[in-house]
Amino acid sequence: MRIRDLQWKGIPMWPPEWWISDEGAGEEGFLKNVQFRNDQTPACISVVATHLGNDRNGIIILEDPLHLETLCSKLKENIGRPLSQIGDLEIEPLLSMPKKGPKQVRLQTTQGSHAAAFPPLAVKLKWEK
């Protein structure tokens, strides 16, 4: 998947939405700095680009924080490159984990003596939906 194809709630996340924007600058300029921000809700990546001598700040938000960390690492590897080239970079899509975590459930056993002798064997994890 290309970086420019990433979306959050149907909104394209590349190029970032710049806080101080040169009209139509979009992918103009070079990547200067990136920082993973898990102190924000939702977690995001803070992006700084330089264009015509001016710094522009923006953010990237994705549904899954693991995707954000992967993207942040990829962006850090490409600091100094033109934004237009970065948008074409491929990142590995991660398989999203289920929204809920594992839940312990007791197995029904026909031989109660085995379950009593080995209690850990009588428990398995099942993903909730």
For 32-83, the pLDDT digits (tens) are 999 999 888 889 999 999 988 889 999 999 888 788 999 999 999 999 999 9
**Is the pLDDT reported for residue 106 higher than 80?**
no
32 and 61 belong to one structural domain: yes
Has residue 93 been placed in a domain?
A: no
65 and 116 belong to one structural domain: no
42 and 102 belong to one structural domain: no
11 and 41 belong to one structural domain: yes
Tell me the residue range of the domain where 71 lies: 3-87
58 and 23 belong to one structural domain: yes
47 and 80 belong to one structural domain: yes
73 and 103 belong to one structural domain: no
- List of long-range contacts for 74-78, beta carbons under 8 Å, 24+ apart: 74/3, 75/31, 75/34, 75/45, 75/47, 76/34, 78/31
Mean pLDDT of 113-122: 48
Closest CA to 18 of 5, 7, 6, 31: 31
Q: How confident is the model at residue 1 (pLDDT cuts 50, 70, 90)?
A: confident
104 and 126 belong to one structural domain: yes
Total-model pTM:
0.68
Has residue 128 been placed in a domain?
A: yes
9 and 39 belong to one structural domain: yes
81 and 129 belong to one structural domain: no
Helix H or strand E segment including 84:
helix 83-87
Count of the separate structural domains present in the chain:
2
67 and 110 belong to one structural domain: no
